Structure 1
Amino acid sequence: MSPKFIVLPKSHTSLAKFLQLSDRYKAFRLLSLRLSPESFGSTYAREVAFAPDKWLARLSNPLATTIVAVDDGITPPSPVQASSDEDLSIETADPESDFELALDAEWLASLTISGPLDTKTLATHLHLEESFVDFGPAHELDLGPARKCDRPTRQFVVNGMYVLPIARGNSLGVQILEYAKRYVAAEAKVSGERVRLSLIVDYDNPAARRTYEKCGFGVVHRYWFDDYREGRGTKTEAAVMVVDLNDGDEIAKKAG
């Protein structure tokens, strides 16, 4: 399989085609919920009942950007670690070509970036009290080389990341996360603002944590929650992981 990364548009000149894209998005989301119900806070039974407008609203949400990895049969596979990833371009010479590819090609993975978020909304996304969401500069948490002490001014959350079982084993999770980081860093570079990406992962899922760690994320908070997901116990420990972008402009330079 050869992945290509596509940022899904929030609208299209053809409503019929945008409805097709919404159907592709819906199909992949429902497949993810059906194959791995233990990986999501939502359920297949809940979302399969959504009206078409609900799926359209998700795609057109100005504070949510969905990135998918598709098998275009052309792009050379890149089973590499984040530390040695070659630049993954976030630009496309032909957005319409990417749009058509998103309609026709097999989707292998997906994630959604929510933001920028204010403190209250960020706390809601991370299931924390508002007073918990400022974790301080990432370098204080030993997440990598020394970094500046400036607080990030734009906060984003990674949600709903999923890689199909048939596409695992080639670092696709790392690749789509690195692409997402570059996309957000490039957006922030325009305004010169500092950015932080956060996410939540089950602490008892070391494979997922390793994937995030390879992309620079580090655990900043752990907590227990009542778990009602299929196949899980009554209590699960979750970890909040963060990575600061634009530190030393390393990521921004790759994106620019």
Structure 2
Amino acid sequence: MHESNLYDIFPIALPPSDKDLENYVRLRLLGLKTNPEAFGSTFERESQNTQDEWKARVDNKERFTIIAQIVSGDTEGEWIGTASILTPELIRAHTGDATMSAYMVVGMWVHPDHKRRGIAKKLVECGMNWVRARTKGMPDEQRRITLEVHRHNENAKALYEGLGFVELKNEECEDPTRIAMFFVAK
């Protein structure tokens, strides 16, 4: 039986090694194929990405990509979970929304064989700690972390609420099946 201490949680180092990039692409495509409802993208779209597009996604100081890996002695373990934190600067560049000042959790996925073992919590906590370190001493509005979760995914909502996220009641998501949540990384 797997326990959460049998997993390593770590960010992908920049620039990513060829092996890390290969592992990330495999994990991302597996997630999109296994749980398409969990993502804002599709397997069909991302499986067409070039190597340069994948590298640009991962090798970006405005994107903090976190990995969960099975601990397997001296050898590299299998990657079984991921989440990324986007900076406000990256979000503004992609959306054109000059008012965006929050970080955002995206691409959260844990392989179904490894769920309910605390891995998702550790992935998000790692991201929260990264935001805390980057925003130390800044006003609360610059320390916000947002995310979207499917309205009916009670397990995910409970996870995020347990970490201190609260629902943004007056915020509508582009996808009406999702709700927005936020946390201030103090």
TM range (shorter): 0.7 to 0.9
* RCO higher in structure (CA 8 A, sep ≥6): 1
Does the alignment pair 1:71 with 2:70? Answer: yes
Which residue does 1:116 correspond to in 2?
88
Output the TM-score relative to the length of structure 1: 0.63
Assess if the C-alpha contact under 8 Å between 1:123 and 1:130 holds in 2: no
Distance 1:38 1:177 in 2: 19
Cα distance in 2 for partners of 1:176, 1:64 equals 14
Structure 2 portions without partners, runs of 5+: none
1:171, distance to aligned residue in structure 2 (A):
2.1
Q: Contact 1:199–1:242 at 8 Å: present in 2 too?
A: yes
User: Which deviations, in whole Å up to 9, do the C-alpha atoms of 1:69-107 show, x marking residues without a partner?
Assistant: 111146xxxxxxxxxxxxxxxxxxxxxxxxx97xx3111
SS at match of 1:223: coil
Contact 1:69 1:108 in 2 (8 A): yes
* Conservation of the 8 A alpha-carbon contact between 2:9 and 2:122: no
SS of alignment partner, residue 45 of structure 1: helix
The number of aligned residues is 178
Match of 1:57 in 2: 56
Instruction: Return the TM-score normalized by structure 2.
Output: 0.84
8 Å Cα contact 1:199-1:241 kept in structure 2: yes
* Distance in 1 between residues matched to 2:133 and 2:61, nearest whole Å: 17
Give the share of equivalent positions with the same residue, in percent: 26
Task: Name 1:106's counterpart in structure 2.
Answer: 78
Q: Secondary structure at the match of 2:44?
A: helix
- Mapped partners of 1:123, 1:53: distance in 2: 18
Other-structure match for 1:47: 46
2:131 equivalent in structure 1? 184
| Deviations, residues 5-39 of structure 1 (Å, cap 9, x unaligned) | 11111216xxxxx2221111100000000100111
Structure 1 gap ranges (5+): 13-17, 75-99, 134-153, 227-235, 247-256
State how far apart, in whole Å, the 1-side matches of 2:179 and 2:98 are.
16
Amino acid in structure 2 at the alignment position of 1:212: Y
The offset of 1:130, in angstroms, is 7.3
